[in-house]
């Protein structure tokens, strides 16, 4: 292998994670809007589609029977029960993107990110957070998408997830009204990783 071969970076598996309410979806959506040349994984879920969501774009909305079939067929990188519903990452999307040389970005919860790390130790894990626990609770309450019981569970879970920071490679505070700054930081991290002497190499 020549030194020129060594300069060609491997595709990265980039995990955007963090507690509910910190803006993971907004970060990924802004990256899409700005035309970043990545493959954005569409997560499969058994939860009901919200009014503003599109099947195949925001999530792959599937029945519990179909999700069970995907588990049995070993078609998922990771899956978990999140607030009573299943979510999972289809393997085929990631493999196809890698084959085309594209970096892959996936948006998963903290538990899912740690599962990906066990399966693919060279994955790049980025933890998105906000200014404080108080700010996080405020954002969750302002969303008004859950019942009182569900909201209490999300707030308690989010507080626990904030304690999992050490499992990640990078942390970014997503300040209110500074979404583009957050996205710029994610892009800068990815660029820096591609210029490392020792490249990450993910196999699935």
Catalytic (active site) residue 143: yes
| Residue entry with tokens 């490392």 | 196
Residue pair 119/161 in contact by the 8 Å Cβ criterion: no
Q: Catalytic residue among 49, 50, 141, 159, which?
A: 50
125-to-6, 48, 134, 195, 198 alpha-carbon distances in Å: 23, 28, 24, 17, 17
Q: Catalytic residue among 7, 34, 69, 143, which?
A: 143
Q: How many helices (H) and strands (E) does the chain have?
A: 8, 9
Look up residue 98 and give its DSSP letter. H
Q: How far apart are the first and last CA of the chain?
A: 23
Catalytic (active site) residue 154: yes
Residue pair 60/76 in contact by the 8 Å Cβ criterion: no
136-to-21, 112, 132 alpha-carbon distances in Å: 6, 20, 6
- Alpha carbons 2 and 39: distance in angstroms, whole number: 29
* Helix, coil or strand: residue 153: helix
Catalytic residues: 50, 143, 154
């Amino acid at each position: 292998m020549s030194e020129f071969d060594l300069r060609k970076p491997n595709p990265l598996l980039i995990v955007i994670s963090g507690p509910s309410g910190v803006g993971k979806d907004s970060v990924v959506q802004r990256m899409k809007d700005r035309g970043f040349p990545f493959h954005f994984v569409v997560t499969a879920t058994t939860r009901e589609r919200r009014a503003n969501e599109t099947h195949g774009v925001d999530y792959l909305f599937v029945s519990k029977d179909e999700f069970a079939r995907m588990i049995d067929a070993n078609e998922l990188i990771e899956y978990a029960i999140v607030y009573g519903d299943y979510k999972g990452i289809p393997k085929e999307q990631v493999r196809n993107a890698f084959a085309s040389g594209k970096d892959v970005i996936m948006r998963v919860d903290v538990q899912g990110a740690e599962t990906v790390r066990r399966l693919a130790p060279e994955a790049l894990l980025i933890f998105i957070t906000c200014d404080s626990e108080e700010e996080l609770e405020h954002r969750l309450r302002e969303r008004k998408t859950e019942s009182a019981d569900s909201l209490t569970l999300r707030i308690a879970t989010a507080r626990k997830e904030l304690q999992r920071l050490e499992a990640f490679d990078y942390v970014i505070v997503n300040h209110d009204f500074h979404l583009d700054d957050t996205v710029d930081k994610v892009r800068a991290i990815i660029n820096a990783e591609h210029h490392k002497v020792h490249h990450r190499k993910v196999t699935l």
